[in-house]
Amino acid sequence: MHLRGNISRLHRAAALVLAALALAGRLGDPAMAAPDNQGTPPPPPAKETKTYAARDERILDCLPEKHLRPDGSVDHAALVAHEKKRIEIINARLGTRLRVTETPHYLVCSDADTPTTAQFVRWSEALYAHLGELFGIGPQDRVWDGKCMLLLFSRRAKFEECSRTLDAHDSTSAGAYFAVEDYGTGHPKLVKICIPMDDREPRRLQELFAHEGAHAFFELYRRPGRLPLWLHEGLAEYMTTVNDPSLKAEKSRKALHAAGDRGELVRKLLAAKTGQGLKTAEYAAAFSLVDFLITDSKPKFKKLIDALKDGKPQTASLAAAYGFDLPELEKRWRAWLAAPSSK
Ligand SMILES: [Zn+2]
């Protein structure tokens, strides 16, 4: 059995540039997961070692064998147990001591000190609560399956080693990244966020987490993907300001500066494709456009996102939710941005 390619997004430390890469993986295969059949002689030691490594590989790359209940629904408890096994394997392989704190929606896996880890525990559920409120996610609803694994490394070298081990990805220049494992229709979708903490101050760590955490949420909300780049990045930037409103003034100032460029910046941004890198000024404009849309109307914003996730083109989604098109969006946003009382 095979799965669709994973999606992973990462950000460069300086400019939060988004990139994408496809990864391979596979579903757990019961035949492969039962190497010690009855009557089979025990394998020699060398093979035993190899078999153990292969089992580890499957746990890191695949779903558990029984990830669906008899009625076909996803067995979330089995997925969470599987995710915890992955942490044990990562610790054994990398020599790390990630400790797991389980919250309603996250597995916060951290080798940082207790106060630092406690901050992420608080930020994670606060972010989920804000997003849940904005998009009407009830206690019984799910955005991802199992729990979102939040991997926090106090040493950058271990973050990079983990990204190579778990996602076959070189994160040498990444500030942080999130990755989605999409096993196709009817099968689970898992998500993880990896953050190196280096010597960053709490304010910056919150910003990084909220940005990646919002991406992880929006990527899987209703169905995977389908958001234009400017909305994905704008929403991610917007959510950093919800836990920490003090970030808003600086982002708005940069947006105002970006709007001063009456040339192609906004038009290019609105047409940018996923995987394309954005400049700092474009991130600021994306943030501000989303700020404008949400300030105008939260219900309309949800309607816009829902329409896009349902597969409607950008222009039709915007028209259905707000009653105007992209050029009108730019015009109204510029007017709002220029009004001193608007922010
Ligand atoms: Zn981003």
185-234 pLDDT, tens digit per residue, is: 888 999 999 999 987 899 999 999 999 999 999 999 998 888 999 999 99
Ligand 1 centroid vs 195 CA: distance in angstroms? Answer: 13
Question: pTM here?
Answer: 0.82
User: How is residue 192 written in tokens?
Assistant: 């993880």
pLDDT band at 21 (very low <50, low <70, confident <90, very high): very low
pLDDT band at 5 (very low <50, low <70, confident <90, very high): very low
| pLDDT above 60: residue 83 | yes
Ligand 1 centroid vs 13 CA: distance in angstroms? Answer: 11
Ligand 1 centroid vs 343 CA: distance in angstroms? Answer: 23
* Contact present, 175 and 13 (Cβ < 8 Å): yes
Ligand 1 centroid vs 233 CA: distance in angstroms? Answer: 5
Ligand 1 centroid vs 34 CA: distance in angstroms? Answer: 41
The tens digit of pLDDT for each residue in 314-324 reads 999 999 999 99
The tens digit of pLDDT for each residue in 45-81 reads 344 444 556 677 778 888 888 888 999 889 999 999 9
Domains of the chain: residue spans and CATH: 6-220 (3.40.30.160), 229-342 (no CATH)
In whole angstroms, how far apart are CA 249 and each of 162, 253, 254, 282, 298?
Answer: 35, 6, 9, 16, 21
Ligand 1 centroid vs 320 CA: distance in angstroms? Answer: 26
Ligand 1 centroid vs 307 CA: distance in angstroms? Answer: 21
Ligand 1 centroid vs 236 CA: distance in angstroms? Answer: 6
Ligand 1 centroid vs 18 CA: distance in angstroms? Answer: 5
| More confident position, 169 or 55 | 169
pLDDT band at 235 (very low <50, low <70, confident <90, very high): very high
* Ordered alpha helix ranges (H), the chain: 45-61, 76-94, 114-135, 156-167, 202-220, 229-243, 248-259, 265-271, 280-296, 298-309, 314-322, 326-338
Q: What angle do CA 109, 110, 115 make, to 5 degrees?
A: 125
Q: Can you spell out the DSSP letters for 113-181?
A: -HHHHHHHHHHHHHHHHHHHHHHT--TT--SSSS-EEEEEESSHHHHHHHHHHHH----TTEEEEEEEE
Ligand 1 centroid vs 260 CA: distance in angstroms? Answer: 23
Q: What is the pLDDT of residue 28?
A: 26
Ligand 1 centroid vs 103 CA: distance in angstroms? Answer: 24
* Contact present, 117 and 100 (Cβ < 8 Å): no
Rounded CA-CA distance 220/99 in Å is 26
Ligand 1 centroid vs 230 CA: distance in angstroms? Answer: 10
Ligand 1 centroid vs 14 CA: distance in angstroms? Answer: 12
Ligand 1 centroid vs 296 CA: distance in angstroms? Answer: 23
Rounded CA-CA distance 79/163 in Å is 20
Ligand 1 centroid vs 281 CA: distance in angstroms? Answer: 14
Rounded CA-CA distance 264/268 in Å is 6
- Tokens 């580890």 sit on residue: 56
pLDDT band at 263 (very low <50, low <70, confident <90, very high): low
Ligand 1 centroid vs 146 CA: distance in angstroms? Answer: 23
Ligand 1 centroid vs 283 CA: distance in angstroms? Answer: 9
**The CA-based dihedral angle spanning residues 79, 308, 227, 183, taken in that order and rounded to the nearest 10 degrees:** 30
User: Percent of the chain scored above 70 by pLDDT?
Assistant: 82
